[in-house]
């Protein structure tokens, strides 16, 4: 059977449901499975039955507004075939669809698309049942969000949802996966609770994150921060696919091997100089541990990465397709002198000179000013690219390689 891979727009993963009175309605644990598999089966059927619904223009697909489409019939046994229900029992699916018919979805809640507001959209126009088939007609507005999206979406293997237990882990997994390319996301406690439901204690988030790490395709860590408002600072990575092709990032195993090889070379240099090392194994372990410790980023560096990656995610890179190199720069309110964070976490001006005026004096001060609105940020279009720009450049390594700027 075909693997259930769904292109899920950020507008939908970063959403919540409300009833007619505007009250937030949180789905139950299995209802998340039913909802996203319903979207998958609907999308697959609609695209198969409706010719030219999507039009390709270059690398992008657009919803063809001139094409008419009708309600879709979904065979309920597909929910059983994908393991969403047990024993051909579809009562839960029916209850979920009946519930959706009375709800609206509030999309773009986290405002990933800066060009639009949070929109409230009715989900279902009409639906009907017989013993084996669901006939459903989603609203045109919802279909546009689901299928007609031109940016801000991700591919999700829905089997990851089935592996998760608990109603809070599923929506949080989808939001964190949505930000896995920028590798971080900060959520206020209020945002988190609107997305997943009430958080009774921080230990509950620990359990959710542990489960996401154990059974899904993302690796997550987090800490609690914030000055004025409590916020959850998530660091996210896609788990490595060791069978994937060339050009993948170094794995922990390869890094370990490189560091140990370096330790062996240091040992050999000592021996070449005639120095006696009585406990070679102990020497290697001490050098290895020390060098591995140096590779670990500090708490301040982790926070800097979180701030930079979060700000980068606000920009549409299609706007920077010319030869200029887009660099994220900062300036203190009231000053027009830009500076950026270089690859060694230094605060430098556009000539690579460390700033000593009109800028924070340390990473700690930078973080404090950034969190308290004392810094402004913008994109500086630079004439060239060099290694120090690595951290603050908006372009991906693939795009830099395509432009011939890195190997």
- Cα-based distances in Å from 179 to 49, 94, 154, 218, 363: 32, 32, 9, 10, 24
Q: What is the mean pLDDT of the chain?
A: 86
Residues 307-319, mean pLDDT to the nearest whole number: 73
- pLDDT for 244 beyond 60: no
Report CA 27 to chain centroid distance, whole Å. Answer: 22
- Provide the pLDDT for residue 256: 74
- Provide the pLDDT for residue 291: 78
pLDDT in tens, 103-158: 999 999 998 888 889 999 999 999 999 989 999 999 999 999 998 766 778 889 99
Query: 249: pLDDT confidence band, cut at 50, 70 and 90?
Result: very low
- pLDDT for 169 beyond 50: yes
Rounded to whole angstroms, the Cα distance separating 18 from 22 reads 5
Query: 215: pLDDT confidence band, cut at 50, 70 and 90?
Result: very high
pLDDT in tens, 82-94: 999 988 899 999 9
User: pLDDT higher for 35 or 70?
Assistant: 35
Residues 235-260, mean pLDDT to the nearest whole number: 59
Query: 70: pLDDT confidence band, cut at 50, 70 and 90?
Result: confident
Residue 49, both tokens? 């039955």
Query: 99: pLDDT confidence band, cut at 50, 70 and 90?
Result: very high
- Provide the pLDDT for residue 245: 34
Rounded to whole angstroms, the Cα distance separating 61 from 153 reads 12
Question: What is Dmax (Cα atoms) for the chain?
Answer: 86
- pLDDT for 377 beyond 90: no
CATH class name, domain 164-239: mainly alpha
Residues 283-309, mean pLDDT to the nearest whole number: 79
Residues 24-45, mean pLDDT to the nearest whole number: 96
Under CATH, what is the fold of the domain 1-159? Answer: Arc Repressor Mutant, subunit A (1.10.10)
Q: What is the model's pTM? A: 0.62
Phi-psi region of 9 (alpha: psi -120 to 50; beta: other; left: phi over 0): beta
Query: 30: pLDDT confidence band, cut at 50, 70 and 90?
Result: very high
* 121, 107 Cβ separation under 8 angstroms: yes
Of 272-276, 277-281, 359-363, which gets the smallest average pLDDT? Answer: 359-363
Structural element, H or E, at residue 157: strand 153-157
Domain ranges of the chain: 1-159, 164-239, 252-295, 300-402
- Provide the pLDDT for residue 150: 64
pLDDT in tens, 187-207: 999 999 999 999 988 789 999
Rounded to whole angstroms, the Cα distance separating 134 from 97 reads 9
Averaging pLDDT over each range in 57-61, 232-236, 308-312, which range is the top one?
A: 232-236
Q: Do domains 1-159 and 164-239 have the same CATH topology?
A: yes
Q: 176: burial class by Cβ within 10 Å (0-12, 13-18, 19+)? A: buried
pLDDT in tens, 320-358: 777 889 999 998 877 778 999 998 888 988 888 887 666
């Amino acid at each position: 059977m075909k693997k259930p891979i769904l292109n899920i727009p950020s507008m939908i993963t970063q959403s919540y449901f409300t009833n007619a009175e505007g009250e937030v309605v949180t789905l139950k644990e299995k209802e998340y499975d039913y909802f996203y598999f319903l979207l998958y089966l609907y999308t697959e059927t609609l695209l198969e039955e409706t010719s030219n619904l999507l039009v390709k223009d270059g690398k992008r697909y657009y919803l063809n507004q001139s094409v008419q489409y009708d309600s879709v019939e979904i065979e309920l046994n597909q929910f059983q075939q994908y393991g969403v229900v047990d024993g051909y029992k579809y009562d839960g699916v029916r209850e979920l669809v009946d519930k959706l018919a009375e709800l609206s979805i509030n999309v773009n809640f986290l405002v990933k698309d800066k060009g639009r507001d949070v929109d409230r959209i009715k989900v279902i126009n009409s639906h009907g049942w017989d013993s084996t088939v669901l006939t459903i007609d989603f609203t045109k507005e919802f279909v546009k969000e689901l299928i007609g999206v031109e940016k801000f979406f991700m591919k999700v293997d829905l089997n990851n949802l089935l592996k998760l237990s608990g109603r809070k882990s599923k929506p949080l997994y989808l939001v964190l996966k949505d930000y896995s390319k920028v590798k971080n996301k900060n959520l206020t406690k209020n945002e988190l609770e609107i997305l997943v439901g009430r958080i009774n204690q921080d230990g509950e988030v620990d359990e959710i994150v542990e489960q996401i790490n154990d059974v899904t395709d993302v690796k997550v860590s987090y800490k609690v921060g914030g000055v004025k408002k409590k916020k959850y600072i998530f660091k996210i990575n896609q788990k490595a696919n060791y069978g994937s092709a060339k050009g993948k990032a170094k794995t922990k195993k390869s890094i370990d091997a490189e560091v140990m090889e370096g330790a062996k070379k240091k040992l050999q240099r000592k021996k070449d100089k005639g120095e006696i090392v009585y406990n070679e194994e102990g020497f290697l372990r001490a050098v290895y541990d020390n060098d591995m410790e140096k590779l670990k980023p500090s708490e301040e560096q982790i926070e800097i990465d979180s701030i930079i990656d979060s700000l980068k995610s606000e920009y549409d890179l299609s706007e920077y397709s010319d030869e200029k190199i887009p660099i994220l720069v900062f300036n203190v309110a009231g000053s027009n002198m830009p500076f950026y964070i270089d690859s060694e976490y230094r605060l430098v001006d556009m000539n690579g000179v460390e700033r000593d005026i009109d800028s924070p004096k340390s990473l700690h001060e930078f973080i404090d000013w950034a969190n308290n609105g004392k810094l402004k940020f913008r994109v500086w279009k630079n004439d060239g690219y060099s290694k120090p720009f690595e951290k603050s450049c908006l372009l991906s390594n693939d795009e830099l390689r395509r432009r011939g700027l890195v190997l």
